[in-house]
Chain A
Amino acid sequence: MDTPANTIHYFFAGYAVIFGSILIYIINLIGRWRKLKRDAAMLEELERTRQTS
């Protein structure tokens, strides 16, 4: 009986793309969330300063 073709390198490449892309996208979302949180806190601080002055 014939053995299957040796394509394990392509298998690893495929799953590296899948896991890598999802991971990069999630890291990107977290980074954007943190930056917006910082901006929101800064703007609220600025708003408070203006209200008291």
Chain B
Amino acid sequence: MGQKPKALTILDWITGILFITAILGVFFYAPLEAVMGWVQKVFYFHVAAGWTGMLGFLVSAVAGVLYLVKKDPRWDRIGFAGVEIGMVFMLICIITGSIWARPIWNTWWTWDPRLTTATIMELIYAAYLLLRQGVEEPDRRARFGAVYAIIGFISVPLTFLSIRIFRTIHPVVIGSNDPGAAGAFDMTPRMMQVFMFSLVAFSFIFADILWHRIRLGALADHVEQKKIQLQTWGE
């Protein structure tokens, strides 16, 4: 494996600066919501984490298609990285949503359409990781992973649209809320600025971690190939 690219170091710094700025924006610039108080500030990174998770699953589906077309293992590494990062951020989204729900909905959890579809989505991608672990042969593993990532991606638009299609208590950020939605609020210009900035900052976090994770995958493949080479030495 070669040296860390200079562009990646620059991306690390830009991402760090954006993340710190987003934190400062949430803590000190965004106003306190009149009814919910401090817990509403979880919203900025809760939605941004969900966005990042879905971005990860989108990358894995696109990489899956490209792997099946080109048979290049690089696309398999990208797809695998996308799922892993997507799962971490979707889990953050689910847990922070539960924390936000406790004082607002008076419960940690309810089987609302959004919460249910998000949980199913997370479980679908957990099964992707299990599937990969269960297949030894690299080409077969990559092919199965690619097909699974493409089919599994159906759960992403379903989760995104669930609060717009079904009756739900989960608020809609952009668009009209269901009359039964609890925890909805009107965003002030400052709230909107911090929200949009958080989405940009998390997109950079995603790109940065994705690049690192792809490099890790390449190193893992290199080690795996070296092991096979040494095992077959002299046979």
Binding site for B on A (CB under 8 A): 2, 4-8, 10-11, 13-15, 17-18, 21-22, 25-26, 29, 32-33, 36-37, 39-40, 43-44, 46-47, 50
Chain A's closest residue to B41 (CB) is A11
Counted as pairs of residues, one from A and one from B, with CB atoms less than 8 Å apart, the total is 99
Closest-by-CB residue of B relative to A16 is B99
Closest 8 CB pairs of A and B: A4-B37, A7-B39, A14-B42, A11-B38, A10-B39, A43-B226, A8-B38, A7-B37
Beyond known contacts A5-B36, A10-B102: 6 more, CB 8 A cutoff: A5-B35, A14-B100, A22-B88, A33-B219, A40-B1, A47-B226
Interface size of B by CB at 8 A reads 39
The stretch that binds A, out of B125-133, B148-156, B159-167, B209-217, is B209-217
Are A43 and B223 within 8 A (Cβ)? yes
Cβ of A47 to closest chain B Cβ, rounded Å? 6
Task: Answer yes or no: B181 CB below 8 A from chain A CBs.
Answer: no
Neighbour of A36 across the interface among B35, B209, B220, CB < 8 A:
B220
The distance in angstroms between the C-alpha atoms of A4 and B227, with both chains bound, is 61
Structural contact, A44 and B226, CB atoms closer than 8 A: yes
> Which residue of the partner chain B has the closest CB to A38?
B223
Nearest opposing residue in chain B for A21, CB measure:
B92
Closest-by-CB residue of B relative to A28 is: B88
Question: Could you list which residues of chain B lie within 8 angstroms of chain A, going by C-beta atoms?
Answer: 1, 32-42, 45-46, 49, 88, 91-92, 95-96, 99-100, 102-103, 205, 209, 212-213, 215-216, 219-220, 222-223, 226-227, 229-230, 233
Q: Which residues of B contact A10 (CB under 8 A)?
A: 38-39, 42, 99-100, 102-103
Of listed A32, A36, A50, residue having the most chain B CB within 10 A: A36
Given contacts A14-B100, A36-B216, contact A47 B35 (CB under 8 A): no
A46: which B residues are within 8 A, CB to CB?
A: 230
Q: Which residues of A contact B205 (CB under 8 A)?
A: 22
Measured between beta carbons, the chain B residues less than 8 angstroms from A4 are 32-38
CB proximity of B54 to chain A, nearest CB, Å? 17
A50 to B227, CA, bound (A): 13
Within the assembled complex, what's the spacing in Å between the Cα atoms of A10 and B32? Answer: 14
Shortest A14–chain B CB gap in Å is 4
Chain A residues in 8 Å Cβ range of B88: 21-22, 25
> Which among B46, B103, B223, B230 is the interface contact of A7 at CB below 8 angstroms?
B103
Residue numbers in B under 8 Å from A25 (CB-CB): 88, 209
Residues of A within 8 A of B230 (CB): 43, 46-47, 50
